[in-house]
Each structure stands twice: as C-alpha cells, then as structure tokens.
C-alpha cells in the first residue's frame, strides 16, 4: 500500500534536492560580478554560425559550464559531509550509494543545468532573438521558458540519482524556478547584466 508523505516532508526533501544548484548559481553570479576567470568566458559554439546566425550565442560560455559544474559539485559534497559530521537524518538517500557519491551527483546536476539551456538558446537564435533581448509578443512565455529550462534539466538526474517522488520533483521544480527568477533579478540589480530593449 502506498503511503503519502506529509507536505512538510516533501518540501524539506525538495529544498535539500535543489540547494547545491542554488549555491552553484549564486557562486556563478559572484564570479560574473567580479569578472574572474575571464579567459574561460569563451562561447561554447566557438563563434560558429548556422544559416547565417550564431548557433547558441556569445552568452553561453565555457566559464558558465565550468563554474556551475564545479560549484554545484562542491556544494553537494559539502552538504553530504556536513550531514555525516553532525549525523543528520538527511531527507534524501543516494541510490546505489556505494557507486555514486554526492560530489559526482552535484557535478551531473550542475552540468545538466547548463546543457538544458542550450536548446532554448538555439531556437531563439533561429528566430533572430539576440541574447538578452525579449520579444514584445508573448514576452511572458519567453521569460518563463528562460527561467524554467535549466531548472527542468536538473530534474532528470535528480530523479535517476536520488529516490525522489514525482511530488518532490514538482516541488523542487517550482522552488527552483522561483529562486532562479530571484537570482535573475539580482543579476540585473547588481549590474552583472543590463536590461536589453524588447524586439
């Protein structure tokens, strides 16, 4: 017989799931603000063009991939180490824990976070939408997709690596989108990015 977990437990597990990615994102923002590792800020597509337009655009860089992967891995490993040190009864357990460690799980989540943004960028370049530009028509839809793609990309590895139920993943997705929007607004507020005109 299936037992239903209390909503508070589902929320706690969802928060634990997304915490490393949130920390990774904040670390990424800090590096962008200080412009560290500028030598890695090279476009993933290498400046290549397809049918006269950039493949992904100059805003998708190797620095972003490296930072999100490393920061999320470190955050996840630290999270697990603190849990062991203080003998917390963590709300999650790794599947096949003998073969999968928390640092590796975090690295996979950080990497998929970045990779999940690429299809959206590819489509926008095909539509002639430049990086940072929001179209006037259906701007709310574009913004929603922009904030949801990377977070949604994390759900697959989280489902495969952790014993996560659908309710936990949906809660994590909602929390992740809300936090992503908050970080996006922070990026503009501290001057990391400037608001581009609508097209």
The answer to whether residue 194 sits within a structural domain is no
Alpha carbon separation from 182 to 22, 40, 154 (Å, rounded): 11, 26, 18
Regions of the chain with pLDDT less than 50: 1-2, 95-98, 199
Is 103 among the domain residues?
yes
The answer to whether position 197 is within a domain reads: no
Task: Tell me what pLDDT residue 198 has.
Answer: 53
Within 8 A by CB and 6+ apart from 164, the residues are: 13, 17, 92, 158, 172
Does 198 map to a domain? no
Residue 22 forms part of a structural domain? yes
* Beta bridge partner(s), residue 50: 53
Say if CB 14 and CB 8 are below 8 A apart: no
Question: Is 3 part of any domain?
Answer: no
Number of domains in the chain: 1
Range of the domain at 115: 8-189
pTM, two decimals, is 0.87
pLDDT value for 199: 47
**Calpha distance 63→84 (Å, rounded):** 31
Residue 157 corresponds to which tokens in the numbers above? Answer: 């590895």
Rg of the chain on CA atoms, in Å: 18
**68: phi > 0 → left, psi -120 to 50 → alpha, else beta; which?**
alpha
The answer to whether the CB of 134 falls within 8 A of the CB of 198 is yes
Alpha carbon distance 195, 115 (integer Å): 24
Residue 196 forms part of a structural domain: no
Residue 171 lies in a domain: yes
């Amino acid at each position: 017989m299936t037992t239903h977990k209390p909503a508070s437990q589902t929320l706690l597990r969802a928060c634990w799931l997304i915490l490393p990615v949130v920390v990774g994102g904040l670390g990424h923002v800090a590096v962008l603000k200080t412009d560290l590792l500028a030598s890695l800020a090279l476009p993933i597509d290498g400046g290549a063009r397809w049918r006269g337009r950039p493949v992904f655009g100059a805003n998708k860089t190797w620095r972003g991939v490296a930072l999100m992967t490393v920061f999320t891995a470190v955050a996840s490993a630290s999270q697990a180490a603190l849990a062991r040190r203080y003998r917390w009864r963590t709300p999650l357990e790794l599947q096949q824990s003998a073969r999968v460690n928390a640092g590796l799980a975090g690295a996979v989540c950080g990497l998929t976070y970045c990779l999940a943004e690429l299809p959206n960028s590819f489509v926008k370049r095909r539509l002639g939408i430049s990086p940072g530009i929001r179209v006037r028509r259906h701007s709310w839809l574009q913004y929603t997709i922009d904030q949801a793609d990377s977070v949604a990309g994390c759900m697959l590895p989280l489902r495969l690596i952790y014993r996560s139920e659908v309710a936990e993943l949906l809660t994590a997705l909602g929390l992740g989108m809300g936090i992503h929007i908050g970080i996006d607004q922070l990026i503009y507020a501290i001057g990391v990015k400037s608001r581009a005109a609508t097209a």
